[in-house]
Amino acid sequence: MKLEFSGSRALILGGSCDLAVCLAEAMIKVNLLPILTYRDENGYKKISNHLSSFAGKYETVYLDFADIASLDALFCKIKDDLDFMVDFAQGDIEGLIASANQDDISRYFEQNISFRAKILKKAGRAMLKKKRGRLVFISSSAAGKPNPGQGFYAAAKLASEALYKNLGLELGSRGITTVTLRPGYIDTGRGKAYMQGREKEVLRLVPTRKAITAKEVTDTVLFFLSKSAAGFNAVEIAMDGGLTAGKCLK
Amino acid sequence: MDILKKVKEILAEILDIDEEEIAPETYLIRDLNAESIDLLELAVALNSAFNIKINDDEIFLRNLRPYLTEAKEKQADEVAYLLGNFPFLTKDRITQILGDLQGGPVLKVKDLVSYVAWMGKTG
């Protein structure tokens, strides 16, 4: 299926993660312009190395979820010119709720929920100028079915899903729509690290007995950005091989 | 740029009405039935057209009634208190607003014009 797109400028939040750089490469191949965010020198280098053969076909911009000035600077730099946004950004926090450090709790939610709401405000207003726009939030199967120790992560994902859903509800009539994708176990990034050494045990919980590949995720995101997926709005979609559909199989 | 002319043009497009239906004394919500999504679009369009930052709460007089409550609590003069919070409005306009609260949302087209003009001067 040949995908068609309304617009070309795609902001990718959390642009230095494995999935983001894979998506950027796939976007370039269908003539979209990925604009990847990075928060430190390592992230910038990772993007540059992965996309070294695509010089001039992508852009990078600094964004730190702990630095509100970087958000203003980002939208200034891209001149509010935005057609798509894909959000991979997510701070990592693991720990039991009853043992968490209080400052860490406040900081985590400020960065992963409040800051995201501020991004959505800016992106929504930028897209209103064009009266079109599509935003895809990469959530996680942990949003619905967290493991012990994932309480804060799950809470931030659920809150972010709610923000995306409401943006799609509120601006859908103006051509701005949202989709949330909830991937399950992915064979890249944090998912790969989690499965290391216990792949069989983990995948026994998945009806298809397979991890999701990075290509499957990027193909799906591209589809959701395309005109073909215009009917999806303000919705969460699981992409987990059936992991969260029923009781554990074992 | 003629601010009123541009504001009327923008409003007409957003609300899908004729510019002739819009005058400085027209109420946005009472007369034109503008909804919150229309006001959001309006803020974005004014930002683009005049290249000014728009504070939605200020331009749409959103905190008018809470400010009045605050003024009473502080036993402050209502007109002076509102002038401090809505510096783009004149004393006459504030007085007019205070006499008009019973009728519903007081926001008029001329308030938008005042805001744009004030922002143009103060940045």
Going from N- to C-terminal start, the domains of chain B cover 3-122
Identify the band that residue A201 occupies on the pLDDT scale cut at 50, 70 and 90.
confident
Contacts of B41 in chain A (CB under 8 A): 128, 174
Q: How far apart are CA A226 and CA A224, in angstroms?
A: 5
Interval A72-82: pLDDT, tens? 999 999 999 99
Contacts of B45 in chain A (CB under 8 A): 129
Residue A44 one-letter amino acid: Y
Nearest beta carbon to residue B37 from set A125, A129, A173: A173
CB contact under 8 A, B40 and A128: yes
Q: Is the dihedral of CA A171, A175, A181, A187 positive or negative?
A: negative
Q: How far apart are CA A80 and CA A145, in angstroms?
A: 36
The range of the structural domain enclosing residue A100 comes to: 9-239
Residue A191 has pLDDT above 80, yes or no: no
Find out whether A202 and A142 touch, Cβ atoms under 8 Å.
Answer: no
Residue A60, φ and ψ in degrees, nearest 5: -125, 150
Contacts of A170 in chain B (CB under 8 A): 37
**For chain B, which residues lie within 8 Å of any Cβ of chain A, measuring from their own Cβ?**
37, 40-41, 43-45, 47-48
**Nearest C-alpha in A relative to B35:** A170
pLDDT tens series, chain B, 123 aa: 799 999 999 999 999 999 999 999 999 999 999 999 999 999 999 999 999 999 999 999 999 999 999 999 999 999 999 999 999 999 999 999 999 999 999 999 999 999 999 998 876
Looking at the 3D structure of chain A, how many domains does it have?
Answer: 1
User: Beta strand A133-138 with A176-183: parallel, antiparallel or unpaired?
Assistant: parallel
The hierarchical CATH code for the domain B3-122 is: 1.10.1200.10
Contacts of B48 in chain A (CB under 8 A): 129
**CATH code, domain carrying A20:** 3.40.50.720
